[in-house]
Structure 1
């Protein structure tokens, strides 16, 4: 094509882009005529040697995600010297210089698509090339390959040519690019920015990067990013951004700055890629690797990892934990009879039921087939594992309705405890599985500990729980009353109601045996309600019999101390027509650990009803002067562990004196528990203690015996 014809064609191309309407149509028509004439002239006078005026194709290489060449254009053939037939099917590494890096991996892992690289031609010549990578999607929109655009870097490129090349690479980049000025105002974005974020250049220019802020990052994270934009150094990382639509998306971001000749920051730029696809793929891989596809529960692999981590923490903090293996009874028969669909749905429903019996922090996993695993990563007592095992069995007690089939299924559970049974996850799993097999050999649903000692203790625990339920329902529980006497007058001024269990076969069982079991199993709620109502009933009987009984103190468990407690107490008082001053409520220090915000409103409501509150076992737990200032308590009880050593043990004497002094400063009544000797009584009286309770005056006695003491006016002999 003659030079004047080529120049006219280029001018018409520019006109066609810049004009519109009739002028544009005229330019396009003239351009078409010139091209047709040039083609006819070329056909009439073919030239075997291409002229320097022919615009050569840009080198473009296509490859799959594994790096094998799938397409090779004429520009690539001219640049490297390999024909299309020689290049197709080869791994792209055949073009690399010996010391080059795997740029495809850099792109896939870090989103880097613009780079300068060293390559080798067929002749052996090594050269520098400017390279741009982008993903190629299949018909379904999934990435199935890479497109490589290349150009050889030659020293003869002018600064203007370089600038145009760089601008083209930026504009054609598959990554979003955002440039801000020194005042953090956006001055330029590329096409990929618009495609990724949804914001056009007009919408983004003059805004700040906060346009994309998701609100998902804390202030420290945002400060790191802003510091990079202010020149503290390049920053790379992942950020959650927000599209114009409001959708939150993950992005891989690189931030750096541009400085002028004086070293002053003139611009900052961010290069980012939408990595949603990679994150979703990573999540799918994690899901497949760590979760059971049927039930959605953690699988054996994840259970193993979590238990291993918990064992490390347990060793460091001296904590207990347990591992339970659960094998379902009759599942195989149901599966074989009713088919896969029913069997699969049954497993899912069983997983849901077992999950409801556990704490949020406990782990439930499907190990294989009809076998589940439970990790109790942190338990206060080893025996608690047996309580959880029974809860899991109870969860399966009711029939399961699956596809109109009323199915009943049991389970055998094996338990291993750490650190007693072992400190390795594999061993604990093996031990729990062995214990489960022992349960199966017994021929019925239940649980077994791997350790024979733990198994014996768990069975005893279960026996006490079962018999205690029968005792509560069968009237085997009763109250005894231990008098409180004044250290000023010696008179009986109150009593503490103490629960006793009269077992039909084993006689009187002390509270220390069954109260811990009641606390752990939740039976303490029913027992506490019974104690409250029985004490009120007894006070009413004494009153009806003409006895002016002193106030009776009732102990409250921390489990009873909830928002409904004032209502329950009010109901009991009203049921037996008692005034609140006839009743005192004693709480323990462990209740205070729950925090003032939870317990103070309940305490205030009880005090407003006219009830007096006492703090039992003071000095053994978490109390301090700060607690006593916050809580509306009018009585402190010195624990018997500090009374035993009086008046000879120096430390016990100092603690008792401190408690009495503290109570006097706060105008609280002081009661000493467990007083058994005259010397103890005299020391406490000299300290200024108000009352004592203990065997020196009387042990806990039945209601009739206490009534007789009050009627006879029995006194403590203070002159002893």
Structure 2
């Protein structure tokens, strides 16, 4: 390298000049000129103090630059240093294979290093490093700046500095002599306590005593003041104005040359702000921000403590989960501020009706939990539950609104149902979910069979999700038969689950579970898709297809339903008039105006709509005439008693008459006997479904029926 050649020549320069080596000197001058040209644009610009040393080293660690400050600092002349390795300046016991100066580092980072002078004296220096680059932009070495560290403080300087630090400290400082008389305080002491130095010096620290600490606590503090180890902790002090305040305190002693205590000093801080913040954080962690009631975290702690006490005392208790109805709809309609005020009012009502020892918590938007930590018997929990339900019978007034809400309550008791908090909470949740299935507000106790059903529901849900991907689901088709000519005029597609181990699982078992979860949406999508696929397959084989009815869950009925149906029809090239969508009366309770709008869109697409299980739920006749429904289906509950049950006959006659007036087609479900069929036909019923003709059959069997032209022999039955 060029730098190495220069370094070698520099080591010889002094000797060469002494011996008259003009040729060597000329070569040196030439090489040094080339070196300056090479490094001219790449040497970093450094701000140097007059006493600072500037060294330049190549990538192998050899010195190629040595300024006057380096000569003064280390005692080596330039010609002595150039060409030497940087380890020349290292302490004898610190010679390493790699030099610190060559390690990559940010330019602004300074480090303290120990270096050796020519005389052998070791000195601490502050070092900064900067990379040097050649004309090609590559690193060719390092520029090293070394500065002398400041001289240590004198004893007088230290005393002055320490006094200034104590006086300006944010912590209060209190110093007493061996007789516990205050001899010195700082400005923060006066700021925190309100006592000036004049008022404090000469008195004892008892002027700050609050009187709230017990004898044992004061003994620990006294022991620290007598030299039995330092003490750190929190103390409640009293300011000059009488106000109590929390303080974090450290107490230590100072001993003289004989080991005797000469002074005691206390460092303390006012932690009122920290305590207030801690209290706020504790409240946020343990209390509901809206109602101020305990939240789930604090409730769990209190219940665990209550259960431990119940085990010791062998007492009884109960947990009640209360699910308030209509909170969400009220918030959506009147605004969240009204909803929040309603929740606050309900919490206040419940709290006022409970004993002081009873725990009331809010654990969710519309859920409260009551823990009755001591009851004499199971019936007492029922009395409390009924009392809380009665509170909600009257309207709750929020601003100008009189709001009605209801509630479902699930109750679990201990030790009967268990003594572990997580299990009891789970049992109460199971009970409240069961209670919520009833129309009227009610309470329900947990029983083991509820838990078994809940576990069975979870297992079924998991297995159904697997069934969707494992092709365990299939559609069966129950024919619809005309009561005019006995021919098949349609069919209802019914979902069936062929479990690999349990065989056919009844829809009455798995459909309610699916309805409770989002799984019903996936099942509904699969049914529509499979029905359209099957229709396309039949049509491609030349089979003349009647209308296929597909059941819709109320949860599928949203603004996107028409688009989803249209996409499936287009995918399989199925005409809209080949599909009938069957809905139940429960759908009509979900806001008639929105439902009608979606219905009209479906009908405009060419689809027909049927109202299934008519008469078993809630339906408004005022709205019924507005719905674009083409078919009413009489539920089998009103068919089974025909023609002998007077009430069933009256209901069936009324439904048929009403449907005829509305120009709707009438289908009777569950027809099993010729007598039922004859009565329905005499009323003017249009179609029937039921075992009299056929149960639901597989796609292959239904195809065979259509191919054979199978029909109901009306005259023979008559």
Would you call these one fold, judging by a TM-score over 0.5? no
TM-score, structure 1 normalization: 0.43
